[in-house]
Structure 1
Amino acid sequence: MSKILRSVIVITCCCYATIVTAQNQPTAIKAIGFYTAKNDLAHISFVHEANKWFSQMGKMYGFEYDSTNNWNNLNTTFLSGYKLVIFLDTRPDAPEQRAAFETYMKNGGAWMGFHFSAFALTPSAFPQNWDWYHNEFLGSGEYVSNTWRPTKAILRVETKKHGVMKDLPATFTAAPNEWYRWQNDLSKNPSIKILAAIDSSSFPLGTGPKQNEIWHSGYYPVVWTNTKYRMVYFNMGHNDMDYEGHTNKELSSTFSEPYQNKMFINALFWLLKPR
């Protein structure tokens, strides 16, 4: 175990004290991960490792983690048993599922989303046909483009005093990822607090082969929260895969970078702590 990861565990265990009762007994805190795991091998790879990682973190820090690929469980009765909802890849499509999630969030529920959970592009199999989620809740609007191949990036902390960024250095390395950019300028949305963005030292970001898949400049938020809700979105969640060699072997892990993992753990405790 690395020195950085040991320090992450020590620091986060201290935070655990905020999620106990007056009798010093753990509260019944439960998180649920929703996933589809059908659309892209890189996303499927992430979903499988994320389910294992969150289960391990739950055992380590005293919360229960469940996962389901049945989006019909996204209903008021089912969600009432969970403190935190995680979208590991896609989003709900049925109107009743969307309505239940919106109600859950407006009533104080907590949410963590990764990578493809924010994707929307019209026309595509995932059109932007849910204004509350993409424009109000996430604030990002439609997907515009991405980098390729999946590569590491240096991230810059934009809001140092936020709980998700606690005890992180000013810049840190993120695991290989396909990085998205968005239709809306998040920096101009007063409800959005950008927590981390691509640092300029990352440029050029991506290797192509298409030139528009390589970013040479610009401002790209990759972690943010909407202050109207208890939520955090992470652009991470697309592993590097051996498509070209036709082996489809996993070439990277989203949970391979200690400081990025600390950010995820910080987010868990920020979202799960009593308010």
Structure 2
Amino acid sequence: MKRILGWSAVVLLALLAIFVVRNYQRVALGGVKVYETTPPRLPDRIQRPAILVFSKTNGFRHEEAIPAANALFAKFATDQGWGYFQTENGAVFNRDDLSRFDAVVFNNVSGDVFTAEQRAAFEQFLRVGAGFVGVHGSGGDMTYNWRWYVEDVIGAQFKGHPMFPQFQPAKVRIEDRSHAATREMPAEWLRTDEWYSFEKSPRGTSYNILATLDEKSYAPKGLFGKDLSMGEDHPIIWWHCVGRGRVFYSALGHRAEAYSEPQYAAMLLGAVKWALRREGSECEVASATDASAP
């Protein structure tokens, strides 16, 4: 038994060492600093409505999930007759190029990915009525240089996920089944994922919680036994408005196989339809504060 435990410890340390080596600059040093200034060439014609799928990572990179999610969103576009463009070039976030899209999908985006001008273009894009769908790692940084993004777009500061085991089965409770993303979901959803915890719940007057995590169904313990519990209110999927823009975030989706799960794919399809204003009537009128923003 001692020999088995000893080998288990060696394996765990080896896996941790591989992680550190692969992600040292991206994580331990606060992320790489790569900013594009020349935008990609867009197709001459892009069908409307159109989605821009963005998967740039200056922080931790979800190597397996990103291509799987890109393929799923491309399939959505083909099946639904939407325009589609995928890139990791942050310079596409300029007023002219963004005007050719109706929603942007952040596919596991991480780190500080934009220049000041690109940030401003993205913020204006949302406020005037575009849509945003954020997936998993797009809300999973320990720190953010751009506080508007974490406070006004995602709405919650990530603090960690379980380790040893990293992936656990857990129960997701669907709170609101009136939304396009959750309309076909069961009241309780048992699935395996890397479960995010946040510093506090985004629940409030401007954030609408669609699903919460039952902490009794898994062990919310992080590295070195860190307590990641949030209590009874542990949101995992939600939406809100930024000006007239529709913002949806799901903390699910670390593993590539998630994007072949029928229920998860259906949830994301509903989210994109909603972000494109093909479903729902939310965010039609901007608040006084948002309406006056630049």
May I ask how many residue pairs the two structures share in their alignment?
A: 227
Cα distance change on mapping 1:179 and 1:30 into 2, 3 Å: same
Structure 1 pair 216–193 and aligned structure 2 pair: CA distance change class (3 A): closer
Partner of 2:233: 219
Does the aligned pair in 2 maintain the 1:71–1:97 contact within 8 Å?
Answer: yes
| Alpha-carbon distance between aligned partners in 1 of 2:184 and 2:193, rounded to the nearest angstrom | 23
> Within 5 A, what are the aligned runs for 1:242-261?
253-261=257-265
Q: What is the CA–CA distance in structure 2 between the aligned matches of 1:200 and 1:36, rounded to whole Å?
A: 31
Contact 1:115 1:235 in 2 (8 A): yes
Query: SS of the counterpart of 1:163?
Result: coil
Q: 1:257 to 1:173 in 2, by over 3 A?
A: farther
Task: Tell me how far apart the structure 1 counterparts of residues 226 and 210 of structure 2 sit (CA, whole Å).
Answer: 26
Task: Write out per-residue CA displacement over residues 187-216 of structure 1, whole angstroms, 9 at most, x where no aligned residue.
Answer: 2x210001111135623357x774337759
**Amino acid in structure 2 at the alignment position of 1:169:** P
Where 2:211 maps in the other structure, the secondary structure is: strand
Match of 1:80 in 2: 99
Aligned equivalents of 1:82, 1:202: Cα separation in 2:
40
Match of 1:182 among 198, 205, 209: 198
Correspondence for 1:31? 51
Partner of 1:109: 130
RMSD (CA atoms): 2.4
CA contact (8 A) 1:88 1:113 kept: yes
Instruction: Give the alignment partner of residue 248 of structure 2, picking from 223, 232, 236.
Output: 232
Separation in 1, partners of 2:105, 2:189 = 24
* Residue identity opposite 2:103 in structure 1: L
Give 1:11-160 correspondences, 5 Å limit: 28-37=48-57, 39-40=59-60, 43-90=62-109, 92-121=113-142, 127-140=143-156, 142-148=157-163, 149-160=166-177
Cα distance change of structure 1 residues 74 and 168 upon mapping to structure 2, 3 Å threshold: same
Contact 1:155-1:199 within 8 A present in 2 as well: yes
- Identity percentage of aligned residues: 26
Give me the whole-angstrom Cα distance separating, in 2, the residues matched to 1:256 and 1:31: 20
Larger Rg: 2
Which ranges of structure 1 fall in alignment gaps of 5 or more residues?
1-26, 122-126, 240-251
Which of the pair has the greater relative contact order for Cα pairs under 8 Å at 6+ separation? 1
CA distance in 2, matches of 1:185, 1:54: 28
Paired residue secondary structure (1:135): helix
| 2:217 matches 1:198 | no
Corresponding position of 1:170: 187
